[in-house]
Amino acid sequence: MVENIKTVKGIGHLTAIAVVAEMPSVDNFDNARQFAAFAGLNPEHYQSGSSVSKKSRICKIGSE
């Protein structure tokens, strides 16, 4: 499982181990998008009406 998660761009060995340790059974997710949202790995986009779009970053609302 760790090796599969490490194939995601930007995910290293320690992050993959932490994700596997924190996640429930994969049977609880219908698709990869649900898993990414649970793990807090979905990109967060910042944009407002008066500023230039900033670079996307990993969302920090996953498991604490």
Residue 18, in any domain of the structure: yes
Residue 41, in any domain of the structure: yes
**The pLDDT of residue 60 is above 80:** no
Residue 37, in any domain of the structure: yes
Ramachandran region of residue 40, left (φ > 0), alpha (ψ -120 to 50) or beta?
A: left
pTM of model > 0.75: no
Residue 63, in any domain of the structure: no
> Domain range holding 33?
2-58
In this predicted structure, what is the pLDDT of residue 37? 77
Residue 21, in any domain of the structure: yes
Q: Which tens digit of pLDDT belongs to each residue from 2-13? A: 998 899 889 999
Better-predicted residue by pLDDT, 16 or 59: 16
Q: Which tens digit of pLDDT belongs to each residue from 14-52? A: 999 998 888 888 888 898 888 777 777 776 666 666 666
Q: How many domains does the chain have?
A: 1
